[in-house]
Structure 1
Amino acid sequence: MLTPKNNNNSQLENLFSPRSPVDFLGFAVVGVIINLLSGAEPLGFVGVAALFVYWFWVDYRRTKKLSKQLGLSVDSKEPAKGAKGLILLLSPYSPRQPSLKDETQLKPLVEYILTTPIEKLQLADFEAIDLFNSNLFPQIKAVEYHVKEGNLRDVWLISSKSYDLVKGSEITAQIFSQYLIFEYGQRLEVKTEGYCVEDWNYKKLWLIADNIFLESDYKDEAVVADITGGTKMMSVALAMACALPKRRMQYMDAQRDWQGHPLPVGEIKPIGIDVAPIIHGNNN
């Protein structure tokens, strides 16, 4: 692991264990402020405020410098770079159309899609289950983006297992797999086998994601993991697998309703996430 040369902890330590003339000056300033505070002098409180402002300023400068070196921006959202491999998390399928909230209405339509050969399916079959207004819309747009921007070839669908009274997303993976094959044919290889895990089992999901990076034919930077779908625990586990240098994450930035569900209106695009500046610091 790389160690930052000038992180915040070392700067604070230098104030109380000075090693250079500048550090001694800082130590003296801290001493004066402590004396003023002990005497309830107003200047002491001003000094504390000034120290906090300085600390945040140094932190901002450091973060901005690291982000610039890595091609990131701390002032705006940066679109994700195109990828050849895409890891997606899936939630239980949820159409927006009210009539399809009734399982008896939705189930036969889904079964038709899952049991019909791809060559006999039509776009109307997917529209019938309200696919393009469902909670799969961000994943649809993610694939569309990377097909266009990164010559996408491989898609891994990580779903959740059903257990007790908890509904998983195994069916979601099957629906989405059918759609991707229908839409893109042999251009994409969609992988679902062995990628289903209990939504609470973050260790197993982390291992699954880590193995995808290790066993794929691509360099780490050519694969991006999308943390938009799934449960919060699943998103955390996938993010943990992306903590190593050069591994990339993204989330789909979209307008959302009052429940936090993405709306299929306006622009929806992947925003790149790079934790390297925070975890690994500057290696120069």
Structure 2
Amino acid sequence: MGHSAAVWDSRLALETVKDWNGIDQIVLRNPLGGSARVSLHGGQVISWRNERGEELLFTSSKAIFKPPKAMRGGIPICFPQFGNCDSIEQHGFARNKIWTVDDDPPPLPTNDSQGKAYVDLLLKPSEEDLKVWPHSFEFRLRVSLGMDGNLTLISRIRNVNGKPFSFSFGYHSHLSVSDISEVRIEGLETMDYFDNLSKRERFTEQGDAITFESEIDRVYLGSPNCVAVLDHERKRTYVIKKEGLPDVVVWNPWDKKSKAMSDLGDDEYKQMLCVDGAAIEKPITLKPGEEWTGRMEIAVVPSSFCSEDL
């Protein structure tokens, strides 16, 4: 355990491996044994493990790992569209593109690199993308794994276009849980939400925590920047902190919808919960040359605490 952050060289904590389609994946490691794996297909985090090697993200046993299908699980990046839109595929095209490693990204604040293993990825539109969504952008994504095991995603989207454009965005985070009926979310009490199961009607959250006994598909609006997902059985809590992402999507397909999904096992809905940092209600508009930053950090802590401690 005798690694100090000063001696530990985060660049040595990167390894590139190929998946069975020949697409590169970057593996990040910290000295305590935690790891994260990022695929250049979609810039998607497909694994995040703690120092005991336990997987913290859910991936379906039936996930299809073949472009142009986004993989069911991990953290797909939804851009420039979250949800459905007539002209763009569901959740946008970023999660289906091959990203490149960005060797010379513009600097981020120092606390975003000190003591962290990280990789910087870049996505620019192809000619084909511009036909579907005619806006030039540079999308920089940094995925980092801290000494503390925390996983951080920082997205920077710049308009390199001659005219303004707007987009919606989400980190579609599939968290691994012991049993969905034993899980609760704290931090969204009293929030308004759109209910996608009733034609996006607007409601106000009444409970003092969100618990699960049926399908849920909601967008909580103007939500606090810290939300906790408590897994009672595993006695652990995911603490999600976000910046630049006003909304939180909460999704679980439950049994009927799971059976209809070819890339999700019939009972796998019990082991997963999506809690996404997102910008949906008010799309982000960038003028030429402007840049937007959206960041999300996920920590896992023992559940002996409650959300007042945050």
Q: How high is the TM-score relative to the length of structure 1?
A: 0.25
Greater relative CO (CA pairs within 8 A, separation 6+): 1
Higher strand proportion (structure 1 or 2): 2
Higher CA-based Rg = 1
Q: How high is the TM-score relative to the length of structure 2?
A: 0.24
